Structure 1
Amino acid sequence: MLIGLVRESFHCFCHTCRAPLPVAVQRRHQGLVAKVKTKPRTIQPKKVQFVTTEVRCQEKTRGGLCYEVILGEPEAKATPPKRTNSPNKNVVSVHDIEEKLRAAEERRQQLEFNKIAALSAKMQKIEDASRKKDEQTTQFITNTKDALEQKMETHVGKREAYITDLKSKLKDHIENVEKTRLSLEQQTDEVRTAIEEKLKSASAHRDENIKKMIERLKEHEKRAEAVRQNKANLLATQQVTTASSG
């Protein structure tokens, strides 16, 4: 039982101590602990805190394990040093109070001056930023205006050049149209004259053809009349000859 209590209260880091106990020893140790718990509590003497200085190797015996523990002397609690009584402070004079008030006033004034300086610097930065922004805005407006004016001038120049070119093209087109119209009128007059001459020539040929056809018809009628007279003469001659023979 004592071995188990010592083993539980102290720790050894050697290889043999970290080895597991045999099963029989563990059962025996558990049985002993169970028996101890069943006993009524007794008044234990006041324990003295010892410091473990050395734990030697265990020795295996028939009843279990054997440890040799060497305990050191208990450490005596060091008594805290007594506080020394601070000397009584001297009474503060009026001059010291005035000096402290003056120093406090100077510190307050210095703080106010620092605040005013910081505020002035901040306002100066704001004014500089505002002025810089206004300058940038003015510069942007000026640049934009110049760019727009330049674009407008370029656009106006291009528009005028386009209108001039368009007018020149329209003038050339009108001249070409006028030339074409005059040429067409001339060609029309020539064609009209040629047609009129052809019509006159055709009318003259037609009259001549009509005259020739009339003359041919007259000759044909004359020949037909001569043939009819010849036939009549032949018939008369035949009748005469027939009558004389009969």
Structure 2
Amino acid sequence: MEVQNKSTEIRCQEMSKGGLAYEVILAEPVGVPVPRRADSPEKTPSVEEIQEKLKAAEERRRNLEASKMAAIAQKMAKIEEASRIRSEQTNNFIAATKEALDAKMETHEEKREAFINELRARLKDHLEGVEKTRLTLEQQTAEVYKAIEDKMTTAADKRDENIKKMLERLREHEEQVRKVRAGNQERFQQLESAIQEKLQQAADRRLLLEAEQKEKLRNHNIKLAEVRSAATAKVEEITKDIETKLTTAEQNREKEIQKKLDFVKKEVCRRR
């Protein structure tokens, strides 16, 4: 294999004052041959070697099984010990609980008997009180019934007497009403006659007043016509007098104006 020997080249160039520039030119890669490993001939194991390997494997398997069995036996022993301890604890707990429960039951039974006896005593006292109250109520009820019967009897007698009095008063009231109605009927007739008479008198007075009013109206119209005639004559007289006075005043005013004009003319002539 041909190998090209080309080295890497580095060039340096001053680009500015106090500064350098480097240019690196790398060489092309060089191919290096890899050494090849020589092939070794395969070795075939013998029968003895195979048997020894099998024996060793069997021995390892037996040892592994023995160790597993020992571990399992140890675990089983621990489990049995724990089960035994747990069983003992459970039995002890059951015994203690049973003893405590028996003691509580005995105490509860004693308290229950005492409570029942106390309730029986209270119930007996209560029943005796109820019986006494019932007897008292029966006696009071009998007394009340008797009093009510007496009052009902007395009330019935008084009621009959009151009914008789009320009937008597009702008859008296009806008689009084009949008399009042008769008197009212008579008074109504008298009142109606008086009203009719007053209505007739009012109609007569109305007719008389209408006649008087008509006469007064006629006289008023006559007087009004006379007053109007006199007023018309007076107005005409006053109008004539005013016209005469106006004519005289107009003439006098013209004379005064003429006098003033003559005076003015004389003054003008005199000043000239």
Q: TM-score range by the shorter chain?
A: 0.3 to 0.5
TM-score (normalizing by structure 1): 0.38
TM-score (normalizing by structure 2): 0.35
